[in-house]
Amino acid sequence: MKTIRVNLSDDSYNIFIDKGILKGIGDMLAKEKQPCKTLLITDKNIDRIYSHIVTESLAQHGFRVKSFTLTPGEDQKSLETAMILYEACFDHKLDRSSLIVALGGGVAGDMSGFVAATFMRGIPFIQIPTSLLAQVDSSIGGKVAVNHPRGKNMIGSFYQPLAVFIDTETLSTLPAIELVTGLVEVIKYGVIKDAELFEYIEKSLYDILQLDQKALLKIIATSCQIKADIVAEDEKEKHVRAILNYGHTIGHAIEALTHYKKYRHGEAVAIGMLYAARIAVEMGLTGSTVFERQLSLVKRLGLPLSTGLKPKDIIKTLYLDKKAVSGKLRFVLPTGIGEVIISDQVTEEILSHVLTGNFV
Ligand code: ADP
Ligand code: ZN
């Protein structure tokens, strides 16, 4: 088992990663928390496969579990769903010594975290992420949020879990496209911080896609460690945490312009990373192999390489992003594999030139 410590000013916690840890969750949790009333929040797809394993293990250690099953899908991440979950918290008489368990992908995780952060001004919660995206990204760092009709993740807070439990075997039931799009975030960690991780993905892509447990443990633990280090340095996203947005500036614009329907997050981010890499090459910040190696991986994953969106629409949307600072665009740009800088020097001319090109 790998254990990664997320060191924060008040709420440090561990991420436990291994294959098959779901059935031992009660035992591990009992070391962190007294048995208590517990609300397990999951979605229908995951409920069918994994809820009973978690519930039984928790019950064996004295946790009194009720569960609530969401309809799968991003549109469930809303204040309306939060209201329904608060009802479940009241019905189950949860109090500040109780526990919320998030079992599932990013939707179950963000939704449960938001409810845990706000019910009675905050009750303890743990994350058991089951999608690759949630395991390497959304379950770490304490961002909890729901969507508002006027913007994604616009209503939320920073709220840390008591612990995160990652069972790499849960990926065996994850739809293939979710695995591939989750891998985009892993590639991102390679580009921003870890050339060795990037090389490992290049070499071991076949093993990863075949769900070789050793390979999964390696890429997930490395990704979690990178994110944990960045978050520990910058809990509230004031400075270095911004590098996690590599590929996301243009990625978010693509998602927004296509109303979050046409592309999965990872697909949009992959295209965003390619554009960012190309901007860096155009600006002379790095050599073209930094772009080509990313392009080659994105192609091997079978992800889309173009959007058909107009460059001027993408640029307009970029200026609306909540992360544009006083009207200035900020880009995370690679200066090599494993190193990035944050730049506000990307001119509209470069942008428009790069966005007009395509990837072949
Ligand atoms: P995210 O991509 O942010 O994790 P979701 O929470 O919507 O987003 O998860 C993506 C989809 O994958 C959902 O339909 C969810 O039910 C499904 N899913 C997540 N984990 C698993 C798993 N281990 N096995 C099967 N389906 C899963
Ligand atoms: Zn992302």
Q: Tell me, what's the pLDDT at 36?
A: 97
- Ligand 2 centroid to residue 158 C-alpha, Å: 17
Catalytic residue among 188, 193, 235, 245: 245
List the beta bridge partners of residue 222: none
User: pLDDT tens, position by position, for the chain (360 residues)?
Assistant: 999 999 998 889 999 999 999 999 999 999 989 999 999 999 999 999 999 999 999 999 999 999 999 999 999 999 999 999 999 999 999 999 999 999 999 999 999 999 999 999 999 999 999 999 999 999 999 999 999 998 889 999 999 999 999 999 999 999 999 999 999 999 999 999 999 999 999 999 999 999 999 999 999 999 999 999 999 998 777 788 899 999 999 999 999 999 999 999 999 999 999 999 999 999 999 999 999 999 999 999 999 999 999 999 999 999 887 666 667 899 999 999 999 999 999 999 999 999 998 887
What are the structural domains of the chain?
2-173 (3.40.50.1970), 176-356 (1.20.1090.10)
Which of 170, 177, 153 minimizes the C-alpha distance to 248? Answer: 153
Phi, psi (degrees; rounded to nearest 5) at 155: -115, 110
CA triple 79-155-126, angle to 5 deg:
80
Verify whether residue 227 is a known catalytic residue.
Answer: yes
Nearest CA to ligand 1 atom 6: 105
By most ligand atoms within 8 Å of CB, the mutation choice from 174, 178, 248, 264 for ligand 1 is: 178
- Ligand 1 centroid to residue 156 C-alpha, Å: 21
Verify whether residue 96 is a known catalytic residue.
Answer: no
Nearest CA to ligand 1 atom 1: 106
- Ligand 1 centroid to residue 106 C-alpha, Å: 7
Verify whether residue 87 is a known catalytic residue.
Answer: no
- Ligand 1 centroid to residue 135 C-alpha, Å: 11
* Packed helices 248-257 and 265-282: angle between N→C axes, nearest 10 degrees: 130
Nearest CA to ligand 1 atom 21: 174
- Ligand 1 centroid to residue 304 C-alpha, Å: 20
Verify whether residue 259 is a known catalytic residue.
Answer: no
Nearest CA to ligand 1 atom 16: 45
Q: Tell me, what's the pLDDT at 320?
A: 82
Grouping H, G, I as helix, E, B as strand and the rest as coil, residue 88 is helix
CA triple 254-257-259, angle to 5 deg:
105
Verify whether residue 237 is a known catalytic residue.
Answer: yes
Grouping H, G, I as helix, E, B as strand and the rest as coil, residue 102 is strand
Catalytic residue among 227, 264, 293, 330: 227
Verify whether residue 264 is a known catalytic residue.
Answer: no
Q: Tell me, what's the pLDDT at 216?
A: 98
Q: Is 104 left (phi over 0), alpha (psi -120 to 50) or beta?
A: left
Rounded to whole angstroms, how far apart are CA atoms 356 and 224?
A: 35
Q: Tell me, what's the pLDDT at 359?
A: 86
- Ligand 2 centroid to residue 323 C-alpha, Å: 14
pTM of the predicted model, to two decimals? 0.96
Phi, psi (degrees; rounded to nearest 5) at 263: -120, 140
Q: Tell me, what's the pLDDT at 235?
A: 79
Q: Are 333 and 280 in contact (CB under 8 A)?
A: yes
Q: Are 81 and 70 in contact (CB under 8 A)?
A: yes
Please list, in sequence order, all residues whose beta carbon lies within 8 angstroms of the beta carbon of residue 86, skipping any fewer than 6 positions away.
Answer: 115, 119
Please list, in sequence order, all residues whose beta carbon lies within 8 angstroms of the beta carbon of residue 71, skipping any fewer than 6 positions away.
Answer: 43, 44
Return the ligand number nearest the Cα of 251: 2
Verify whether residue 241 is a known catalytic residue.
Answer: yes
Q: Tell me, what's the pLDDT at 354?
A: 96
Q: Tell me, what's the pLDDT at 25?
A: 97
Residues with CB under 6 A from ligand 1: 43, 45-46, 49, 72, 74, 104-108, 130-131, 133-134, 138, 170, 173-174, 178
Rounded to whole angstroms, how far apart are CA atoms 96 and 108?
A: 21
Verify whether residue 328 is a known catalytic residue.
Answer: no
Verify whether residue 121 is a known catalytic residue.
Answer: yes
Beta strand residue intervals within 176-235, DSSP E: none
